[in-house]
Amino acid sequence: MASAKLKELLNKAIAGEIQASIQYMWQHVQWAGTEHYAVADEFKSIAVEEMKHAETIAERLWYFDGIPTTKPAPIAVGAELWEMIDNDIKAEEDTIVLYKQIQKVAEEEGDPTTRFIFEEILRDEEGHHDFFTSVKAGKPKKK
């Protein structure tokens, strides 16, 4: 079964996914102007995807007899478009680092299932990062 360290990392991942889901959904709601129409649907889509990630990770933690957190990591919505985008890029970068760490710990513990779960989720997170950095560069694109 999973170590206390891996369970703690899984809960940190859940808190981050809940945070991202809330953060991106509120940004979707709060954006206005022409920029809103270029990316709003993608923000909403990413927010829903983040919640699905939280559920997947919580199910894995529950399998290990862990108790999934219901508390999000600190939410940083931002007041204007570019502040929001900068917050989101940072959140995705932190998530990518964390998920690589989780994969490493899972590998060390002989847990290929958790490693595989995070390989799949990491692909999505890298896509989110690509989307946000593309918006910042002025070239919004769908993932």
- Percent of the chain, pLDDT > 90? 75
> Does residue 1 have a pLDDT over 90?
no
What residue spans define the domains of the chain? 4-136
> What would the mean pLDDT of 39-54 be, rounded to a whole number?
92
Rg (CA), the chain: 15
- Token pair in block for residue 56: 């997947």
67-71 long-range Cβ contacts below 8 angstroms, 24+ apart: 68/10, 68/11, 68/14, 69/11, 69/14, 69/15, 69/18, 70/18, 71/15, 71/18
What fold does the segment set 4-136 form as a domain?
Ferritin (1.20.1260)
User: How many whole angstroms separate alpha carbon 109 and alpha carbon 5?
Assistant: 10
Mean pLDDT of all residues belonging to the chain: 92
- Token pair in block for residue 130: 């690509």
Per-residue pLDDT tens for 63-91?
A: 999 999 999 999 999 888 889 999 999 99
Per-residue pLDDT tens for 84-113?
A: 999 999 999 999 999 999 999 999 999 999
> Does residue 142 have a pLDDT over 60?
no
pTM of the model: 0.92
Pick from 17, 18, 38, 36: nearest CA to 27:
36
